């Protein structure tokens, strides 16, 4: 990672995202390998000595402490408590646009404000890396998009390197400069959102990131694949009226500017096509071709 980068850890439940975050923080010990922060080997260091800030999924704010007390708690064990604590608290709250909130009760704050208090607590000791475990999961869906933008702007304004865990692709795409895709404890690919979508390293990444049709056998060969190859094609890359696969439109889902059509092909595969809403009707017999496809060896990951 480069200084100031935001890296998203993306993967399904159980893929190892939170475990990796806890390894970086020092809450878990790895069976092998090393953890380096700014070229320093911190593998054997206790969490308090690694100079990392952690924002937990449920914020972990103390209801018996006011906002200032919660932020000051982040200085415990750093050697900073008692020496300019009030100044460090005020500075951290100003960073997250909560200046003057020191005496507020955390119960009086909105979910977004509580998240920013947790962020201020993590930033108060001036950490080298900020770690966030699903930071938006407690917010209402209507608030998440706006809060994602605000969180990215805040992290970029502070200029701190950040690693955050999420299982939502949209969140990873919005927040991350790069995205690391994990699967069953394995790092599948690291890249920008564009890299992962257009150039997935394997079938798992290709199907986990974005919508995708995976075709085998006769259906794959109809779109130009060789024997033993699997084809991955995005719905927007498929075209009606182009030679390739033949079939019947089984379903149509209108989404506004476009629609998603489910086509049952003659080889028996179900294919999703994204096209103009009036491109076809349910029951129509159609031919489908592809503007571009990705090919993988059968049995590959």
Long-range contacts of 274-278 (CB under 8 A, 24+ apart): 274/211, 274/234, 274/235, 274/236, 274/238, 275/238, 275/239, 275/240
Structure token digits, residue 82? 């008692």
| Topology of the domain comprising 6-201 | Rossmann fold (3.40.50)
What confidence tens digit (pLDDT) does each residue in 234-265 have? Answer: 999 999 999 999 999 999 999 999 999 999 99
Structure token digits, residue 292? 């571009």
State residue 241's pLDDT score. Answer: 95
Asked whether the whole model's pTM tops 0.85, one would answer yes
The residue ranges of every structural domain in the chain are 6-201, 213-297
Q: Exposed, middle or buried, 270 (CB in 10 Å: 0-12/13-18/19+)?
A: middle
User: Mind spelling out the 3-state secondary structure of the chain?
Assistant: CCCCCEEEEECCCCCCHHHHHHHHHCCCCCCCCCCEECCEECCCCCHHHCCEEEECCCCCCCCCCEHHHHHHHCCCCCCCCCCCHHHHHHHHHHHCCCCCCCCCEHHHCCHHHHHHHHHHHHHCCCCCEEEEECCCCCCCHHHHHHHHHHHHHHHHHHCCEEEEEECCHHHHHHHCCEEEEEECCEEEEEECHHHHHHCCCCHHHHHHCCCCEEECHHHHHHCCCCCCEEEEECHHHEEEEEEEEEEEEEEEEECCCCEEEEEEECCCCEEEEEECCCCCCCCCEEEEEECCCEEEECCCC
- Which of these, 12, 35, 15, 7, lies nearest to 190 by C-alpha position? 7
- Which of these, 178, 132, 144, 157, lies nearest to 2 by C-alpha position? 178
CATH H-level, domain 213-297: superfamily: Nucleic acid-binding proteins (2.40.50.140)
State residue 80's pLDDT score. Answer: 53
What confidence tens digit (pLDDT) does each residue in 53-94 have? Answer: 999 877 789 999 999 999 998 787 555 554 458 888 999 999
State residue 147's pLDDT score. Answer: 82
Angle between helices 85-95 and 141-158 (to 10 degrees): 120
Phi, psi of 237, deg, nearest 5: -85, -10
State residue 231's pLDDT score. Answer: 96
What residue ranges of the chain have pLDDT lower than 50?
82-83
State residue 77's pLDDT score. Answer: 57
């Amino acid at each position: 990672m480069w200084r100031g980068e935001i890296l998203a850890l993306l993967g399904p439940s159980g893929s190892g995202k939170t475990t990796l975050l806890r390894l970086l923080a020092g809450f878990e010990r790895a069976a092998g390998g090393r953890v380096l922060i700014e070229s320093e080997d911190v593998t054997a260091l206790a969490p308090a000595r690694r100079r990392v800030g952690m924002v937990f999924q449920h914020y972990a704010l103390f209801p018996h402490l006011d906002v200032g007390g919660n932020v000051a708690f982040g200085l415990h064990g750093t050697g900073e408590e008692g020496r300019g604590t009030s100044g460090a608290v005020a500075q951290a709250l100003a960073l997250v646009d909560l200046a003057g909130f020191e005496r507020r009760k955390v119960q009086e704050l909105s979910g977004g404000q509580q998240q920013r208090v947790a962020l201020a607590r993590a930033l108060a000791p001036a950490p080298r890396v900020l770690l966030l475990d699903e930071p938006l999961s407690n917010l209402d869906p209507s608030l998440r998009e706006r809060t994602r933008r605000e969180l990215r702007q805040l992290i970029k304004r502070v200029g701190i390197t950040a690693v955050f865990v999420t299982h939502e692709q949209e969140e990873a795409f919005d927040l991350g400069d790069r995205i690391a895709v994990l699967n069953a404890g394995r790092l599948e690919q690291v890249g920008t959102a564009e890299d992962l979508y257009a150039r997935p390293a394997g079938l798992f990444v290709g199907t986990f990131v974005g919508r995708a049709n995976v075709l085998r056998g006769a259906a794959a060969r109809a779109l130009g694949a060789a024997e033993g190859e699997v084809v991955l094609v995005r719905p927007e890359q498929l075209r009606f009226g182009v030679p390739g696969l033949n079939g019947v439109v089984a379903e149509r889902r209108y989404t506004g500017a476009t629609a998603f059509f489910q086509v049952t092909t003659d080889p028996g595969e179900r294919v999703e096509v994204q096209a103009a809403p009036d491109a076809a009707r349910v029951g129509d017999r159609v031919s489908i071709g592809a503007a571009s496809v990705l090919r993988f060896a059968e049995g590959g990951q």
